[in-house]
Structure 1
Amino acid sequence: MPHARSFTIVAQHAESQPAKKCKSVDPTKEWKRRSPFWDHYSFSTVKGKDGKLVRYATCIHCHVAKYKADPRYGTSNAKKHLDQCDAYQAYLAANPLPTPEFDQKVFCRMFADAIMYHSYPLSIVEHVKLREMLTYLNSKVRHITRNTILKYCLLEHKRLKSMLHEILADVNSRICFTCDCWSACTSRGFLTLTAHFIDNNWNLKSRILNFRYFPPPHRGVDIYLFVVGLIKEWNLEGKTFSMTCDNAGSMDVMVARLKSDLQTFGTLPLGGRFFHVRCCAHILNLIVQSGMKVIDASVLKVRETVNYIAGSDNRLVLFEKCVVDSKSILLVSC
């Protein structure tokens, strides 16, 4: 029986290994009692037969059970005693644990918060296994559809938007805007307007005022009408300080017309001299792209080489072998 022989060898090997010594703990020092079972015990430190101090835990209900209270020993004995302690069971009967009432609306609001915070799809509320788990946690749960959770998400968006309106109305400082118009991987255009301001506690805050689908054409006049409508919607005409955007020609047209409108109301400081701020990141991007054009031929060769090697498993194995051989040659030469 080979299995029996192997078991004997493993057992002998285990017996030959020295037992690991647990790190001693000073019983006079406090230790973090994370388990809720320790709440039903009182602690005392006594001197043992060997003269060393030992910490004991005594049940506060029956005052009979006494166990060594040490992080090395765990909470198994304390838990088993409470399950069998008549005094503790009588205490539970007289003082039942409070069970919070289930509120379906609170559940839906919390589910909507989780969806918006973690960017979950709305269809997650209709997943079968998730519904089974929620039913197991609370049988009073009434499952909802994606249309219902969408309503709760829109209500939360409306509440947060109203809260942001109040915050911006109370701001005493000027507000700087960042406008960005870009296309997603689906070729759909979007426009984002972000407000940057210092609150009354002198903390720098940034809030996205709009993240919306922006259909073509992306002309300067269209962007201007879109942005000026947002500024008026948030009642920020008299608090505007600057507008940061990229160096596209359409953005120059938008900023020029917006600056002209705000100057008419006389709300821009210093006559709008510092109103238009060009995005440094976009300028740096243009510089890098111009520099990359110089090495376009080399980059193209590297791409073709990678595509050729990755096109076959055999080529990939040969390439890895060449890499190993080249490393060994370099080591020998060094």
Structure 2
Amino acid sequence: MVEPGGLGDDMTEEEMRVYEEEQRKIDEYEKEKEMEQRPTRRQMKKRSPMWDHFSEVLVDGMLKFGKCKHCNRDIKAVSEVNGTSALKSHFNTCKYNPHNDKNKNQGTLQVIQGESPSVHKFDPEALRKDIAKMIIVDELPFAFTEKAGFREVMSIACPRFNMPSRRTCTRDVVKVYFEERAKLKLFFKQSCQRVCLTTDGWTSQTQDCYMTVTTHFIDPEWNLHKKIISFFLVKGHKGDDIGKAIEKCLMEWGIKNVMTITIDNASANDGGVGYIRKKMIKTGNSIAEGKYFHMRCAAHIINLIVTDGLKELDESIKRVRAVVRYIRHGPSRITRFKELAQLEKVDSEAFLSLDVCTRWNSTYLMLATAINFEKVFARYEEEDPLYTLDLTSEKGPGIPVDSDWENATKMAEFLGQFYHLTLSVSATLHVTMNQFVMDIAEINVVLEEWADSDDILRKTMAKKMQDKYDKYWGRWHEEVENEKGKGKGKKKEEENVNMFVFAATVLDPRFKLSNFTKLAIEELYGELNGGKAWEAVKTFMHALFEEYKAKYAPSDVSKHVGAPQSEPTQKREGRKLLSRINKKWRVGADGEASMSKSEFEKYLHEENEVNRDDFNILKWWKDNASRFPTLARMARDVLAVPVSTVASESAFSTSGRILNEFRTSLTPFMVQALVCAQDWLRGSITINIEEDEEELLRLEKELIEELGSTNSSKSKASSSKSVCKPSGVVPSCPPPSST
């Protein structure tokens, strides 16, 4: 303010107001100058741990708010008013705070389109475990979690999750392996009565010899399972080495009761099975004194039979293989061949596939598809001059002629029987044992028909294949079944079909010990030897039932079906009346014992089930197990026996992908953990990781058509919306572009 008597006496009100405003600004400026000249106080370091989770928000240079690093919310943080109390209160209630122990069990409401709202709980430990399972099941590298793409996806999907390193993933994978192993081991101890084994060997890229052991069993709910329990390095290939390795594996898993071991026909494998058989007999855990402990791989025997027959058609197969290889050599040839196939109106879903010379089943698939394109090959020969030059050169086998295509047709028809038999015996998701007798009898009928054919080729092929067939399946040696030894000195040429195969047929309620089964056995061995085999099968079944009854039936199963049963009461001495009535009940008027029918006899005397293709034998036994408890236990053991080692061989496909050229440094333990854990986690779900070329081409074609139609519709829409410019008097509109 201006003092009285000063300049203010001569000023107007407006001048006075301006003067005071200017004076105020001068005072503020001088005050700021004075503050700048004062020595500044050093800012104290924030001591509250809350600032590790909040960012400072300054307003006019003064601290006003703290921004939460987890939810980005601003919380008041004025030191004179709020301090850090408000920050701490928010920290303890923040939904996105991973350090909040009080809200660990509180979920977040999650809404997914098309589904009802659900509560989602963030569990980093469960997420880490699932990532380990993903690495196992999908055969991913341990460093997958360190990939930039996956980390970017996870930062959007779950920003609170801290991605594990490759070493952490390795530890998590091993942890999952041990957890799943403990579950399976407990199941074997509590719920599995007896297992069947398959085993085979494999050599890795580093020339290390691995061996796999797979268990097959039926659980109490009558579901068939296969579980790989071991995948380990083998030190030697001798019989004792194989036997000791299997014995060690069984001891680690606590498995004592083994029904059979299915293995191929190598002599070393015979020694290994013999070693395990002796151990089982010594401990009293074998069935039928271990005489039928060894089950020979049916797929391996089929391969031996077919290989002998293919030698007769070697030249024709080479020519068909050569033309298929020529067409598949380049994309332009494939495209032109497909165009000619459309012109010839060849309707075939399958396209040409090149076989692997050592795998007859791939040869069958090659022939089965190639014969459908016979006319297309003839037309392609006219259009491509290099086709003839390449195939008729010095190294070429020549162009297939009519006789070659005729031979290929006959071979495809013939091999089809063995191909479908191989698929039948190689199944792992359903029982194969009960149909095996019928399958090999069917092959015998086909071989006999070809042997009686007027066609020289068919007759020659059937003769060679019949010799190999008879060696393993077609001959019955009565003296082999009569000997009481454990297989000592027994030759492969004098070996019968494993009797458990016939037992599985009898335990099929569609067949039993019926005339149908008898006729099938006679077709298999002939009328004379078939009768001997039939009697041996009946004797074996009764003996097997009595053995199971003695081992597993309750001691008080009386004892007679239909006899009066007393309710459990307190123990009473001298039940003379009950014993006398039971004695009279068992003895008839003629003085001969009139015991009631046994459980096995009751089963045989019941009417057979209708022979349908969709018949579920495991469901039938599940429904009738209470009526036939001893037979049901037999069925659980016998029906679980696999007739081929395909289940074990499938592990080698997995191990080949896991232990590839980029991961050869994996230790044997880690390889076993990955192979076994993958099998346990996948369970019965079959996952095909191989790409189907035909399916990819079809999808690509559909995608191109879809994109083409979309672009065409957009082009038409844009052209219809275009404005026509006037030209002279008559308005004209240029036609839409063809592009």
Give the structure-1-normalised TM-score. Answer: 0.61
Give, in whole Å, the separation in 1 of the partners of 2:121 and 2:335.
Answer: 63
Offset of 1:251 from its aligned partner? Answer: 0.8
| Greater relative CO (CA pairs within 8 A, separation 6+) | 2
Q: 1:274 aligns with which of 283, 287, 292?
A: 292
Letter in 2 for 1:194: T
Letter in 1 for 2:225: K
Offset of 1:118 from its aligned partner? Answer: 2.5
Q: Compare CA radii of gyration and give the structure with the larger one.
A: 2
Cα deviation per residue 1:224-255 (whole Å; 9 max; x = unaligned)?
Answer: 12111101111112x11211111111111110
Letter in 2 for 1:245: I
Give, in whole Å, the separation in 2 of the partners of 1:156 and 1:203.
Answer: 24
Please tell me whether residue 296 in structure 1 is matched to residue 314 in structure 2: yes
Please tell me whether residue 218 in structure 1 is matched to residue 237 in structure 2: yes
How many residue pairs are counted as aligned between the two chains? Answer: 233
Give, in whole Å, the separation in 2 of the partners of 1:131 and 1:246.
Answer: 47
Correspondence for 1:114: 134
Give, in whole Å, the separation in 1 of the partners of 2:339 and 2:221.
Answer: 63
SS at match of 2:198: strand
Letter in 2 for 1:272: G
SS at match of 1:134: helix
Letter in 2 for 1:154: V
Please tell me whether residue 243 in structure 1 is matched to residue 261 in structure 2: yes
Identity %: 28
Please tell me whether residue 200 in structure 1 is matched to residue 200 in structure 2: no
RMSD: 3.2
Give, in whole Å, the separation in 2 of the partners of 1:114 and 1:135.
Answer: 18
Correspondence for 2:302: 284
Residues 202 and 235 of structure 1, relative CA distance in 2, 3 Å threshold: same
Letter in 1 for 2:243: Y
Q: 2:253 aligns with which of 215, 234, 240?
A: 234
Residues 301 and 189 of structure 1, relative CA distance in 2, 3 Å threshold: farther
Please tell me whether residue 263 in structure 1 is matched to residue 285 in structure 2: no
Q: 1:190 aligns with which of 210, 213, 232?
A: 210
Residues 298 and 186 of structure 1, relative CA distance in 2, 3 Å threshold: farther
Give, in whole Å, the separation in 2 of the partners of 1:292 and 1:188.
Answer: 33
Give, in whole Å, the separation in 2 of the partners of 1:123 and 1:137.
Answer: 20
Cα deviation per residue 1:112-140 (whole Å; 9 max; x = unaligned)?
Answer: 12222333332221110110110112222
Residues 104 and 300 of structure 1, relative CA distance in 2, 3 Å threshold: same
- Report the more deviating stretch, 274-283 or 97-106: 97-106
Correspondence for 2:181: 161
Please tell me whether residue 181 in structure 1 is matched to residue 201 in structure 2: yes
Correspondence for 2:162: 142
SS at match of 2:260: strand
Residues 231 and 315 of structure 1, relative CA distance in 2, 3 Å threshold: closer
Cα deviation per residue 1:73-116 (whole Å; 9 max; x = unaligned)?
Answer: xxxxxxxxxxxxxxxxxxxxxxx947755333222111112222
Cα deviation per residue 1:156-177 (whole Å; 9 max; x = unaligned)?
Answer: 1100101111100013522211
SS at match of 2:122: coil
SS at match of 2:137: helix
Cα deviation per residue 1:173-207 (whole Å; 9 max; x = unaligned)?
Answer: 22211112234577653322111222233333322
Give, in whole Å, the separation in 1 of the partners of 2:138 and 2:332.
Answer: 42
Give, in whole Å, the separation in 1 of the partners of 2:227 and 2:317.
Answer: 40
SS at match of 1:292: helix
Letter in 1 for 2:277: K
Residues 263 and 142 of structure 1, relative CA distance in 2, 3 Å threshold: same
Structure 1's unaligned 5+ residue stretches are 1-95
Offset of 1:270 from its aligned partner? Answer: 1.7
Q: Is the 8 A contact 2:192 2:217 kept in 1?
A: no
- Report the more deviating stretch, 306-315 or 138-147: 306-315
SS at match of 1:295: helix
